[in-house]
Amino acid sequence: MMRVFTLMFSVLILVACGQDGDVPVSVEKPALDLGHDYFSFANTDQFVTDHLQLDLTVDFDLQELRGSATLSMHRLDPSATDIILDTRDLHIDSVEVGTTPGELASADFEYAQTHPVLGQALKITLPDGLDQQQDLLVKIYYKTDPGASALQWLPAELTAGGEHPFMFSQSQSIHARSWVPLQDTPAVRITYAANIHTPPELLAVMSADNDPQTNRNGEYTFTMPQPIPAYLLAIAVGNIYFEAIGDRTGIYTEPELMAASTFEFASTQQMLETAESMYGPYQWGRYDLLILPPSFPFGGMENPRLSFITPSVLAGDQSLVSLIAHELAHSWSGNLVSNKTWRDIWLNEGITSYLDSRLMEVLFGKERADEERVLSYRELMQGLEEISPAMQALAPVEKLDDPDESQGSLHYKKGELFLTHMENLFGRETFDTFLTGYFKHFEFQSIASETFLDYLDQNLLQKYPGKFNRAQAEEWLFQPGLPADAPVPHSASLTEAASMAARWSAGELALEDVPLAQWSPHAAVYFIASLPPDLTEAQLSELDAGFGFSQSRNAEISRAWFIQVAARRHLPAYTQMEAHLNRYGRTRLIKPVYVALAKNGQDADLAGELFVAARDKYHPLTITSIESGLSAVK
Ligand SMILES: [Zn+2]
C-alpha cells in the first residue's frame, strides 16, 4: 500500500512500513532555504529533541546495533500531529509515544522513499490523546543495517591485534541517522545517555563520560551532559585499553598500538593547557584520544571528550601531531560553537584550522607552523582549480549536493586564511580577544555564517574602524576564489626545498647535496611535490634509491611520493604503491593516488582493479569517496 504525504519542503513518496521501497519514482530534494538545514527531513520547526536515551546491543555476528532509542522531544507547534525524523537503512520494529516512560502507546509510522544522499524520512503519527502534549517521549525499537554508512565492522584480521573484531562510527556529516533515528541536523543539540551491551571481553567507548577505571564486563553506561549536535554522537567497540598521558588526557587503543600512541601524542596535555590559556576553559571534562585501526576514513574526528584518530599519524617522530591540535581545537570551534547547517561548515573547519596552527606555533615554533601553513596553502590553490566557483565561497549561496564532498577541503584552508587575514589587520592580541569572546557568546549554540558575520561586524569591525569592513568580510564568505589582498604564507625552509628540487632536476645539484635527512617531513613533502613534470625514469629511481621514499613510514611523505609515482607511471614503485593503498584506509592518503593513477593515461583499469582488491579494508565513506573520484576521471 502506498500513501503520499507532503513535507513542508518537498513531496516525498511514502512506502508503507514493511515494504522495501522499490517504487520507481524520483524524489525531489528539499528546496533551498538558507536558515533551514536542507540535509535533514526533520520538522524541527514543530518539534525539537532535548535528550536521547540509547539502549543498544552490539552484535558482531550480524553486524548490527539492536535495541531502542528514546527521544525526549519538546513541541514548538501546537497544531503539529506528526514527528518526522531522519533515518538511513534502519530496520524499525515499532514506535511508542507518551509522556512518561511507563505509559507509552504504540504509534503508527511510515518511511518515505529513500533519497540517495539524505536517506529516508520517518513519519511518526502521534497517538490519540497526545495532540496537545508539550513534552513527548518517542521510543523507537530498531536495528541497524550491516551496510550502515556510519558504521564499520572490522573482522579481527583488520585490527592491530588480529584476535578481536572492532566496530566504530563516523557520524559526520549526515550519517548519525544510519545508526540512530533522530533529528540529524547540527541545528539541534541534545544531551544523551546510553546503555551498551557488548561481548564481555570487549570495551565500548563513546563521545561521553568514559571511565578509565570501568569494569570490562560487556555492560557499559554513558552520559553526555553537554548538549551536542547529532554528528558528534560516536561509539567504538573493540579490544580497547586505556593509558593516561596527563591528568585530564589519555589514550584508548588496542594494546599493540599503545606504546607508539603514548609516545606520539605525549604533547596532548600540554596542547590542552595551551588552548585553554588562549581561548578560555575547556568545557568537556576529560580529553582522551581513541587511536583506531587503519581503516578510519579521516585523519581525526572531534567526537567530544574522545577524539577518534587515524593510526596513520603514528610517524614515530611526532611530526604529524598537528592533527591532534586540530581535533582538540574543535572543542571550541565546532563542538562548543557549531555550524548550524553543513553549508556553514567553514565555521567548524576554517576556525579550527586557524586555531590548530596557532597551537602548533606555540608548542613547536613558528618555523614548523609556517611550513604547515604553506603546505595547506598549496592544497588550497590546487583545490581552487578543481572546485566549481559557486562552491568556492566559504558560505555557498548555491545549494551543496553532498555535505561530504562538495567543497573538498576548501572550507578548512580558505577559512584559516580568512582568520589569518583578520589577525594580520587587527593584531594578534585584539583578534584573540575577539575569538575568546565569540566562543563564550555562542557556547553550546549552533549558528549560521550570517550570525557570525553580524557578531564580527559589531564586535570587531565596528569597534576598530578603518581596518576591514563588512563588505570585505562578505567577499570572503560569499565570493569564489580569494580576495586580491589575501595573505600568502611563507616558509624559508620550504622555499629552499622547492629550489633544491628544481636544481637537482636540472642537473645543477647532486642528490647527495640535498640534505633531506636533516629536513622536517614537511620539507620532504614539499620537495616531492615541487618536482618538475619532465623528470626521467632514471631520476625517479635515483630519488627513491637515495631517499627511500617508497619505504617511508611517514604517511604524508608516502602520500606525496605515491601521487608522483602514479601520475608519472613510475612502474618500479608500483608494488610499494599497492602496499600503500592496502596499508592505509584514510581517504586523504589513498584517494589522490587512485585518481592520479586513473588519470595517467594508461592505468585507469589498474586503478579500478587495485581498488576492488583493497576495498574490503576501507570504510563505507572512503569507498564512496574513491568511487566518485574514479568515476569523475572517466
Ligand atoms: Zn576538523
pLDDT in tens, 315-352: 999 999 999 999 999 999 999 999 999 999 999 999 99
Question: 38: CA distance to ligand 1 center in Å?
Answer: 22
What average pLDDT does this structure show over 516-522? Answer: 95
User: Of the listed 220, 231, 412, 574, which one is catalytic?
Assistant: 412
**pLDDT tier for residue 36 given thresholds of 50, 70 and 90:** confident
Query: Which residue type is seen at 501?
Result: A
Question: 378: CA distance to ligand 1 center in Å?
Answer: 18
Q: Is 589:607 a contact under the CB 8 Å cutoff?
A: no
**pLDDT tier for residue 35 given thresholds of 50, 70 and 90:** low
The model scores a pTM over 0.85: yes
CA atoms within 13 A on the CB side of 284: 32
**pLDDT tier for residue 550 given thresholds of 50, 70 and 90:** very high
- List pLDDT tens digits, range 346-378: 999 999 999 999 999 999 999 999 999 999 999
pLDDT at 593 over 80: yes
What average pLDDT does this structure show over 531-557? Answer: 96
Question: 516: CA distance to ligand 1 center in Å?
Answer: 30
Alpha carbon distance 140, 40 (integer Å): 19
Q: 167 has which bridge partners?
A: 153, 237
Does 379 participate in catalysis according to the annotation? Answer: no
Query: Which residue type is seen at 98?
Result: G
Alpha carbon distance 518, 154 (integer Å): 39
C-alpha cell at 194: 546510553
Q: Give the chain's length.
A: 634
- List pLDDT tens digits, range 145-195: 999 999 999 999 889 999 999 999 999 999 999 999 999 999 999 999 999
- List pLDDT tens digits, range 95-153: 999 999 999 999 999 999 999 999 999 999 999 999 888 999 999 999 999 999 999 99
What average pLDDT does this structure show over 20-46? Answer: 61
* pLDDT (0 to 100) of residue 295: 87
* pLDDT (0 to 100) of residue 25: 33
What H or E segment, with its residue span, contains residue 593?
helix 587-599
- Which residue, among 618, 610, 590, 628, has the nearest Cα to 296 in the 3D structure? 618
**pLDDT tier for residue 6 given thresholds of 50, 70 and 90:** very low
- List pLDDT tens digits, range 396-407: 988 888 887 778
Question: 615: CA distance to ligand 1 center in Å?
Answer: 25
pLDDT at 214 over 50: yes
Alpha carbon distance 335, 495 (integer Å): 36
Q: Is 170:308 a contact under the CB 8 Å cutoff?
A: yes
Phi, psi of 420 (to 5 degrees): -60, -40
Question: 571: CA distance to ligand 1 center in Å?
Answer: 35
- List pLDDT tens digits, range 278-288: 999 999 999 99
Rg (alpha carbons) of the chain, rounded to whole number:
25
Phi, psi of 160 (to 5 degrees): -65, -40
Alpha carbon distance 256, 582 (integer Å): 19
Does 385 participate in catalysis according to the annotation? Answer: no
Query: Which residue type is seen at 97?
Result: V
* pLDDT (0 to 100) of residue 132: 84
Question: 350: CA distance to ligand 1 center in Å?
Answer: 8
**Residues around the ion ligand 1 (C-beta < 5 A):** 349, 352
Question: 75: CA distance to ligand 1 center in Å?
Answer: 33
Is 405 buried (19+), middle (13-18) or exposed (0-12) by CB count in 10 A?
middle
Question: 548: CA distance to ligand 1 center in Å?
Answer: 31
**pLDDT tier for residue 620 given thresholds of 50, 70 and 90:** confident
C-alpha cell at 522: 614537511
* pLDDT (0 to 100) of residue 162: 92
pLDDT mean across residues, the chain: 93
Name the more confident of 166 and 294. Answer: 166
**pLDDT tier for residue 389 given thresholds of 50, 70 and 90:** very high
Q: Is 96 helix (H, G, I), strand (E, B) or coil?
A: strand
Question: 330: CA distance to ligand 1 center in Å?
Answer: 7
User: Of the listed 96, 264, 327, 475, which one is catalytic?
Assistant: 327
* pLDDT (0 to 100) of residue 60: 98
pLDDT at 29 over 80: no
Question: 421: CA distance to ligand 1 center in Å?
Answer: 20
Is 515 buried (19+), middle (13-18) or exposed (0-12) by CB count in 10 A?
exposed
Question: 326: CA distance to ligand 1 center in Å?
Answer: 6
* pLDDT (0 to 100) of residue 591: 97
pLDDT at 9 over 60: no
